[in-house]
Amino acid sequence: MQKKIKIEFLNNFIIVELDNTDTAKEIWDACPIKSVTNTWGKEIYFETGIKVVKEKSAKDIINLGEIAFWVEGSSIAIGFGATPISKVDEIRLVTKANIIGKTKSDLSILEVVNSGEIVIVDRIY
C-alpha cells in the first residue's frame, strides 16, 4: 500500500502520495512534523529538521502536483505556480530538490497561505 501524508494549513489541507525514495521515508518516519510556512512567489516551503542528501533524480523545474524536498533548507517545498526565478509557464525551485511524492489535491487553496502560519504534516493510515 502506498504511503500518504496530510499537509494541513489553517483550515485546509492537501494529501500527498509518497514516492518510494529515501527522502520520502525520512519524512514518513519524522511525522508528525509541525513547522511554520514561508512563501516565495507561488511556492510554500517549511523547515522539517530532516537531513538528507540530494538524490540523482533531483530537479529544479517541477510539475504541478509534485512535492519536493529542498535539501539545503531541510524543507518541504510545494510549488503551485511561478516563483521569482520562473521562466514562462514553469514552476522553478531555487535549486534542484528531491521529489518526495505527488498530490491530486487542488493546490489553488495555497493561494491564501501566508508566511508565518503553522503547518502540520502527519501520516494517513
Instruction: Quick: pLDDT tens for 88-105.
Output: 889 999 999 999 999 999
Average pLDDT, stretch 112-122? 97
Query: Is the pLDDT at 38 greater than 80, yes or no?
Result: yes
* CATH fold group of domain 4-124: Cyclophilin (2.40.100)
All cell numbers assigned to 13: 489541507
Cα separation, 88 vs 102, whole angstroms:
22
Query: Is the pLDDT at 1 greater than 90, yes or no?
Result: no
62-93 pLDDT, tens digit each: 999 999 999 999 999 999 999 999 998 899 99
pTM score over 0.75: yes
Query: Is the pLDDT at 116 greater than 80, yes or no?
Result: yes
Cα separation, 8 vs 97, whole angstroms:
21
Q: What is the CA radius of gyration of the chain?
A: 13
In this prediction, residue 100 carries a pLDDT of 98
Where along the chain do its domains lie?
4-124
Cα-Cα-Cα-Cα dihedral sign, residues 125, 107, 58, 27: negative
The candidate with the shortest Cα–Cα distance to 102, out of 84, 118, 80, 75, is 80
Cα separation, 105 vs 92, whole angstroms:
20
